[in-house]
Amino acid sequence: MKQPDNFDHITKLYRLLSPEEWANFQKAKIYHGSSFDRGTGFLHFSMSEQVKHIAEKFFGTAGHIIIVEITRSKLKKEKLIFEKNTPTGETYPHYYGSLHLKNVKQIFEGLTSEIKL
């Protein structure tokens, strides 16, 4: 599938998790996504400039959140597609596969209002 724009310069991707999702991910060592992800058929990732907005939208400004940083090169290239969101037209990274714990490079934890990447 052709990418909508050139995103070759993006080296880091982020996945936002609830503390419960993170605990389950650590235990299983693999993450197949939330029920929403499974319903759409892919994991919803964010680029750094999208994290704060997405965190506030889905976790609220006072929500506790875990953000995992993934090095793009650790993912299967053919399963990562940058796709435009229909309502907004903004492009998001979607991963058509599961995320392995060994591919998590860094973890950020705290309130959504304190996010700094």
In the chain, what's the furthest Cα-to-Cα distance? 38
Contact 65, 114 (CB under 8 A): no
pLDDT for the residue numbered 89: 83
CA distance 65 to 109: 6
The chain-wide mean pLDDT, for the chain, equals 90
* Angstrom distance (rounded) from CA 14 to CA 104: 9
Q: Is 33 helix (H, G, I), strand (E, B) or coil?
A: coil
d(CA 62, CA 55): 10
Token pair of 80, please? Answer: 């990562």
pLDDT lower than 50: segments of the chain: 1-4
Q: Quote the pLDDT of residue 99.
A: 97
pLDDT of residue 115: 80
pLDDT value of residue 2: 42
CA atoms within 13 A on the CB side of 9: 3
Domains and CATH numbers, the chain: 13-105 (3.20.170.20)
Sign, Cα dihedral of 35, 1, 85, 60: positive
pLDDT at 69 (0 to 100): 97
| Distance in angstroms (rounded) separating the CA atoms of residues 92 and 82 | 5
In this prediction, residue 116 carries a pLDDT of: 79
pLDDT at 63: 82
**Is 0.95 topped by the overall pTM?**
no
